[in-house]
Amino acid sequence: MKWKKFTLETTTDAVDYLGSMFDDIGIEGMEIEDNVPLTESETKGMFIDILPELPPDDGTARVSFYLDEDEDTEEKLKAVREGLEEIRQFVNIGTAKITESETDDKDWINNWKQYFKPFTVDHILIKPTWEEIPEEHKDKLLIQIDPGTAFGTGKHETTQLCIRQLEKYVKPGVKVLDLGTGSGILGIAALKLGAEYVFGTDLDENAITAVHENLAANDIPEEKFGVIQGNIIDDKATQDAAGYECYDIVVANILADIIIMIQKQVPFHLKKGGIFISSGIIDMKEQAVREALEANEAFEIIEVTRQGEWVSFTARKK
């Protein structure tokens, strides 16, 4: 589908009003560029390690919206301009200059799919659900994935670090807790490697749908993989749903800062002697995670693995 991109120069005070005006006239979605610092909870909700340095907030904002090439652009822009005049009555909307900055052919939701091709991690073949099995990999252990809008194609170094540790520690019949399950790729890998049952949690509601779809794609019965939206760090309902001291392995591929918090809770869910595989740790945060694990009397670190700039710690519950 072809889209036309329009960018409006405005103020941060006007942004909320613009959103509601766009809704009213049927423009779906908008992109906001401003220099307003993120709040602590916004930062926590983002999957990034290092925040970019922003120039000071000068109260200006650039708001972009997209119109389908086939719709009547002039009519929509007229409605936008009328809406702007109404908003101008009660809030400073800045210059309100609109520029058509780009015409592009994009399908943002699906474009990434052309770059997701089958690949192997040791003897495991990970392939998108829509691709054929390459002839030369017919003998591999197959995992089929469509992450949808959740995280986890398996391509990321942090996921591969976890898969390799799962290959090492999953024995037939084990129970696995997959924290930050995303597409469910790690839980599915564990089941394919012989695990009896997986329980997954994620903050992202899209993960729940993705896990169900990927279970179906891999012919895995739903009862083998329970999944809920929730935060095991501080939510008692999520902790109860996961259950206590019943897992042989806990795997968590999340950010270093989250691993530091989550490792305090993990021993309550692991059996004695159980294994905690943690990943998502950028090398500059390795020492901080190491210190947290060493300070946790329940754990002894048994292995540190690396891929690129990413680090994974494997610890055993004493």
Ligand X SMILES: C[S@@+](CC[C@H](N)C(=O)[O-])C[C@H]1O[C@@H](n2cnc3c(N)ncnc32)[C@H](O)[C@@H]1O
Chain residues that interact with ligand X, rule: CB under 6 A: 47, 150-152, 156, 158-159, 162, 179-182, 185-186, 201-204, 207, 231-233, 253-254, 258, 280
CB nearer to ligand X: pick between 47 and 268 = 47
Which tokens sit at 165?
Answer: 């540790």
CB nearer to ligand X: pick between 83 and 152 = 152
Q: Which residues of 60-69 are buried (b: 16+ CB within 10 A; e: fewer)?
A: ebebbbbbee
Nearest distance, CB of residue 47 and ligand X, angstroms: 6
Nearest distance, CB of residue 241 and ligand X, angstroms: 12
Nearest distance, CB of residue 222 and ligand X, angstroms: 19
CB nearer to ligand X: pick between 198 and 254 = 254
Nearest distance, CB of residue 263 and ligand X, angstroms: 12
CB nearer to ligand X: pick between 19 and 243 = 243
CB nearer to ligand X: pick between 58 and 309 = 309
CB nearer to ligand X: pick between 201 and 239 = 201
Nearest distance, CB of residue 52 and ligand X, angstroms: 19
CA distances from 298 to 28, 67, 75, 264, 303 (A): 50, 56, 65, 9, 16
Nearest distance, CB of residue 282 and ligand X, angstroms: 12
Nearest distance, CB of residue 7 and ligand X, angstroms: 30
CB nearer to ligand X: pick between 18 and 254 = 254
